Amino acid sequence: MIEVGAHTVLEFVKMQFQGKWSRFSLVQQIGYDVNTGGLLLVVTEDENAAKTTYWFKLAAGHEVWVLEDVVHIPAMCIKSAPGDQLRCSV
């Protein structure tokens, strides 16, 4: 699929997919497809080990690609905050 529009590419420490997503793999990368709209949280780490969390809102049909520790997101972040903001579901 060709994604037209804004994109973000980040080197990540961890990610959290909220909502309904499908996962599929190719030879060297993993793709995630948004089924009904979803939220993606990405935690990065700078050279001083300081973490930052970024939030991305994605519409149904968009694909997120992961190759090793790099994520390709067809959107701009809607929010960021210092630290690791990922939380477990209750």
Give the model's pLDDT for residue 90.
61
pTM of the prediction? Answer: 0.91
Residue the block writes with tokens 């089924």: 35
65-79 tens-digit pLDDT: 999 999 999 999 999
5-58 tens-digit pLDDT: 889 999 999 999 999 999 999 888 899 999 998 999 999 999 999 999 999 999
Cα–Cα distance between 46 and 5 in angstroms, integer? 27
In the three-class reduction of DSSP (H, G, I as helix; E, B as strand; rest coil), residue 46 is classed as coil
Q: Check pLDDT > 70 for residue 1.
A: no
- Close Cβ partners of 34 (under 8 Å, ≥ 6 residues apart): 19, 20, 21, 58, 59, 60, 61, 62, 63, 64
